[in-house]
Amino acid sequence: MAINQVQFQKGLSMAEFIERYATEAKCHAALVVARWPRGFACPCCGDERHSMFVREERQYWQCHRCRHQTTVTAGTIFEATKLPLTRWFIAMHLMTQAKNNVSALELKRHLGVRYKTAWLMKHKLLQVMAEREDRRMLDGRVEVDDAYLGGERPGRRGRGSENKVSFVVAVQTADDGRPMLTRMNRIAFTKDAVTDWANKALAGSARVISDALNCFDGFRGNVADYQPVVVGSGRQAVTAHPEFRRVNTVLSNLKTAISGTYHHFKFAKYADRYLAEVQYRFNRRFDLSSILARLVRAAALTRPRPEAVIRLAEVGG
């Protein structure tokens, strides 16, 4: 799909969203299907035989075998939420259909909740995206570049360098050069860190192209082919080089997508999740009409994370 087809595809319109997810009952039903697509299975023993009852306006499933009682949100990222599911679905819709990352402040305004609540919802959903994307491996021809974000706060140049984040951006391209998939991860630019990242993010059969930075020697022996390209000095040279056209486009989109976020005082602490948000959307950009349903399914399969853990910025599943 060409870039303009990606931009002009239908997506999930606000009208369709409202039709499908306007009420608590509709969101609940959608979550039930997402969590148990082949029907209920007990989270404790796996048995499918069950009965259902309602207590304090909540739907419960009770396993016939082990008597375990559960709701559709228990054991998922939505566990113990006091918010209606309709709010969660609006948040997921905004975060998947938006071109750029959605700030907690925007969510607060759209949802009519407190800032703290919006922040926590957003970061729980980012956790879902980060865990999904953490398993992704790029293969084939892969352009890699090093980049930095953050570290400058408006009006205070040079300050906040502790907020600066170094990360790697990789783009898998198709035979005709189109960008297909991306990975963006915070790493230190050392040879060992590059090797560790390559083993996690790239298939052994990948063919990697990067500039000739010393740390990128960490690719040698870990991928099928590694071609360092000497591009001259300075960022301009890398940006202008045709071998890095795709990764540079993705990098420039990334900077736009999170520009509202990376001046944030705690950007560095949560950078992994902000990168995952861009990566998640980019890798699903060919099918904007199903991206919400897929996020709902992923959220239903992601285990709960209490607020304290979310604030620690732990990403690993």
Distance between CA atoms of residues 270 and 309, nearest Å: 12
Q: Which sign does the torsion angle of CA 79, 83, 85, 88 carry?
A: negative
Chain residues that interact with Zn ion, rule: CB under 5 A: 42, 44-45, 47, 63, 65-66, 68
Closest contact distance (angstroms) between CB of 73 and Zn ion is 18
Token pair belonging to 98: 């938006």
Could you write out the DSSP letters of every residue in 170-187? EEEE-TTS-EEEEEEEE-
Closest contact distance (angstroms) between CB of 50 and Zn ion is 8
CB closer to Zn ion out of 51 and 256: 51
Is residue 185 within 8 A of residue 202, CB to CB? The reply is: no
CB closer to Zn ion out of 44 and 113: 44
Element (H, E) at 91: helix 85-97
CB closer to Zn ion out of 63 and 104: 63
Adjacent-strand bridge partners of 243: none
Closest contact distance (angstroms) between CB of 297 and Zn ion is 22
Closest contact distance (angstroms) between CB of 37 and Zn ion is 19
Nearest to 218 by CA among 201, 238, 234, 232: 201
Closest contact distance (angstroms) between CB of 63 and Zn ion is 3
CB closer to Zn ion out of 53 and 115: 53
Angstrom distances, CA of residue 283 to CA of 3, 73, 129, 166, 202: 13, 27, 11, 21, 15
CB closer to Zn ion out of 79 and 196: 79
